[in-house]
Amino acid sequence: MDLVQELNLQDFTEEEKNQVLAQFTDSLLKRLILRVYDKFSADEQQEFDRLAKSGDNEKVNKFLTDKIPDLDEIRNEEMRDLAEEMKSFLAATKTE
């Protein structure tokens, strides 16, 4: 998915694009974690929390892909939903 195209950011400055894309990435990560966290057992939640605090993204990603077999599908759904929400928000702020 080309987020610049999808979110209609072509007319934004590079700084604005980077800011929107960083916000998108941060929001997507939070949404993914919220969506899959409840699928973990209590022990898995503790392990995930420990890995997340360590800051080792590679281990976090491996843990998620090992524990959530449909992670790619969930990620794609959340990306589409978030892109639609951000597109609406950006369009509304552009007209104000």
Kindly report, residue by residue over 11-30, the tens digit of the pLDDT.
Answer: 889 999 999 999 998 899 88
Rounded Cα distance between 77 and 90, Å, is 20
How many domains is the chain built from?
1
Helix (H) or strand (E) holding 77: helix 71-95
Return the HEC string of 32-46: HHHHHHCCCCHHHHH
Alpha carbon separation from 62 to 10, 17, 18 (Å, rounded): 34, 29, 27
Q: Give the domain range for residue 66.
A: 3-95
Quick: pLDDT tens for 43-87. 999 999 999 999 888 998 899 999 999 999 999 999 999 999 998
Q: What is the pTM of this model?
A: 0.78
